[in-house]
Structure 1
Amino acid sequence: MTDLTSSIKNITVIGAGTMGSQIAMVAALAGYGTSLVDINERQLEQAKDQLWSRVDRDVEKGRRSAEAVEAAKARMHFSTDLEGAVSVSDFVIEAAIEDLKIKRELFANLDRIAPEHAILATNSSNIVSSKVADATNRPEKVCNMHFFNPALVMECVEVVPHERTSQATVETAAALAESFGKKVVKLNKEIPGFIANRLLNAIRREALSLHEEGIASAEDIDVAAKTALRHPMGPFELMDLVGIDVVYLIRMAEYEQTGNPESLPAQSVKRLYEQGDFGRKTGQGWYSYAN
């Protein structure tokens, strides 16, 4: 723990989906008192079951010690009480739905509840923090802190300031991520998609273009990405893993920010989204997962 993180004892993560729950577990494993908050009690129960199963499996495979996992479990709290958790937090990470209106309402509420010194970060990869910072009275303490899925495994965290974010906030967020065992990428200024996703989107956009123009099948494009470029997954396999719904909504969120028609989802992605074929989670996307 560095001087920058020595004042951080309690962390609250908002949103018990895959990203939020794993970010919370990462924080607990790093030694912080951690609250995972969601409005849905059932979602919290599912998150707890999935997290416990995952870290217990890590112990079985020798990736983590039983002592470290049990200590992290003891530091984790699951709650629907937003005010109770946030009121004693030194750092808040929002990982809720990618809806700007909801995020702005949430950040205004977090600003009202959280201690004056608390930093408010959003894990969003596409909604830049300037869009929510002005809903608070502490814009200098607001930034993006973007983890990658699965957060328990992926090393990278992008820390992104907006024009009014203080350097102290950037350095503290970066130091916190490093204390989690992550590799930090600091952007000098905000841009939708940040670095990794903009690189990924460029590959995805070209892959979709090749497919929609009939140049090659999704399967063959994936094979090329894996065997020629050494990517662990092809772009279509990755879309199925992330979720076609997530891919679609991220593109729509970027379009709402930029107004650029090039930000809109590809027609083939739009079609899958409207059919409800979201990939692995529904059993059908670019590929079938019926078995």
Structure 2
Amino acid sequence: MKKIINRLTVIGSGAMGSQIAMVSALAGIDVYLRDISEESLRKAEESLNGHMKKRILKGKLSSQEVEEAFSRLHFVTSLEEALNDTEFVIEAIVENLEVKRQLFSEVDKLVSEDVIIATNSSTIVSSKLADATKRPHKVCNLHFFNPVLVMELVEVVKGLHTSNETAATAVEFVKQINKTPILLKKEISGFVANRILGALIDEAIYLLENDVATVEEIDLACKKALNHPIGPFALLDLTGIDVNYYIRQILYEETGDESKKPQRIIKEKYFNGEYGRKTGKGFYTYS
């Protein structure tokens, strides 16, 4: 029997968390978006308002649909308030294992025993978080892609600790919010999409560092020959060169494999504070 989620908690109001909350509210779910910072919540609401206004102008959504979605979206700092009577929890906070484990432990104590606690992380598998709770069978990865309002795919990752029922409920939830799920039957670093993308980006950086072609030419090849909507360097600028740096550092620390370390050009950009769009400069310059 399909379980319909009526009340959702999203913890972390950054770009990922706020947009996960918005797509869920648009799908008719009562959503509590929680962050420890009032300022972060204010910025999240402001950003979402901007995104929704653009969709109204483009005719993708009506003013009434947006108004109703915002009426279902609650911005709160209290963890207890966010979790009260919740049916499903999605964590989208900083990519720090100890901080996540602490949060999972706190959430576990405050929600009923049938509630699933999912992490949006693409780098920290849920088996590293599950034992911080008394419900490891109710813990999984639910990996959305940036920007969540646009990207359709969600990866549901089933660890050895995750029950079949939890995985099935997570898959149904993804469908409920009008996204497309794929179910990974086992944990693997980077999951599916990012493993394939990572190989592409690694090769693009190799070609650049070895002076085979320019940033613009490599991006153009991916767009015009492979039919990708955006080139790998433009994508790095969009998602954040700092994020790529952190992910590669984590992979290196986990594996000890020197090839997983951030590449020379990534390190240069990172230490120069050139993270991409968010800083106005990365592989490209932005006004």
In the TM superposition, 1:105-254 aligns within 5 A as 105-254=102-251
In the TM superposition, 1:71-90 aligns within 5 A as 71-90=68-87
Letter in 1 for 2:201: R
* C-alpha distance in structure 2 between counterparts of 1:98 and 1:149, whole Å: 15
What's the counterpart of residue 104 of structure 1? 101
* C-alpha distance in structure 2 between counterparts of 1:138 and 1:87, whole Å: 18
Name which of structure 1's ranges 259-268 and 187-196 shifts more when overlaid on structure 2. 259-268
Write out per-residue CA displacement over residues 68-102 of structure 1, whole angstroms, 9 at most, x where no aligned residue: 21111100000111122113211000011111111
SS at match of 2:98: helix
SS at match of 1:157: strand
Structure 1 position 43 matched with structure 2 position 40: yes
What's the counterpart of residue 282 of structure 2? 285
* C-alpha distance in structure 2 between counterparts of 1:288 and 1:9, whole Å: 43
SS at match of 1:135: coil
Instruction: Quote the offset at 1:255 in angstroms.
Output: 2.5
Letter in 2 for 1:165: T
SS at match of 2:178: coil
Letter in 2 for 1:52: N
CA contact (8 A) 1:19 1:151 kept: yes
Structure 1 position 23 matched with structure 2 position 20: yes
SS at match of 2:228: coil
Instruction: Quote the offset at 1:60 in angstroms.
Output: 2.1
TM-score (norm 2): 0.97
Instruction: Quote the offset at 1:5 in angstroms.
Output: 2.6
CA RMSD of aligned residues (A): 1.1
SS at match of 2:246: helix
* C-alpha distance in structure 2 between counterparts of 1:10 and 1:34, whole Å: 6
* C-alpha distance in structure 2 between counterparts of 1:146 and 1:37, whole Å: 18
Write out per-residue CA displacement over residues 41-77 of structure 1, whole angstroms, 9 at most, x where no aligned residue: 1110010011112112212221012222111110000
* Change in 2 beyond 3 A, CA 1:24/1:212: same
Which of the numbers 55, 62, 66 marks the counterpart of 2:59?
Answer: 62
Instruction: Quote the offset at 1:159 in angstroms.
Output: 0.2
Instruction: Quote the offset at 1:119 in angstroms.
Output: 0.3
Write out per-residue CA displacement over residues 175-223 of structure 1, whole angstroms, 9 at most, x where no aligned residue: 0000111111111101111000000000000011111122121121111
Structure 2 unaligned segments of length 5 or more: list them: none
What's the counterpart of residue 265 of structure 2? 268
TM-score (norm 1): 0.96
* C-alpha distance in structure 1 between counterparts of 2:3 and 2:35, whole Å: 25
Letter in 2 for 1:245: D
* C-alpha distance in structure 1 between counterparts of 2:135 and 2:252, whole Å: 27
Name which of structure 1's ranges 20-29 and 82-91 shifts more when overlaid on structure 2. 82-91
* C-alpha distance in structure 1 between counterparts of 2:3 and 2:268, whole Å: 46
SS at match of 1:105: helix
Count of matched residue pairs: 287
* C-alpha distance in structure 2 between counterparts of 1:57 and 1:237, whole Å: 22
Name which of structure 1's ranges 226-235 and 137-146 shifts more when overlaid on structure 2. 226-235
* Change in 2 beyond 3 A, CA 1:232/1:104: same
CA contact (8 A) 1:98 1:253 kept: no
Structure 1 outlier segments of 4+, above 3 Å:
none
Identity of aligned residues (%): 51
Which of the numbers 3, 6, 19 marks the counterpart of 1:5?
Answer: 3
Letter in 2 for 1:120: I
* C-alpha distance in structure 2 between counterparts of 1:279 and 1:67, whole Å: 35
* C-alpha distance in structure 2 between counterparts of 1:219 and 1:130, whole Å: 40
* C-alpha distance in structure 2 between counterparts of 1:88 and 1:253, whole Å: 35
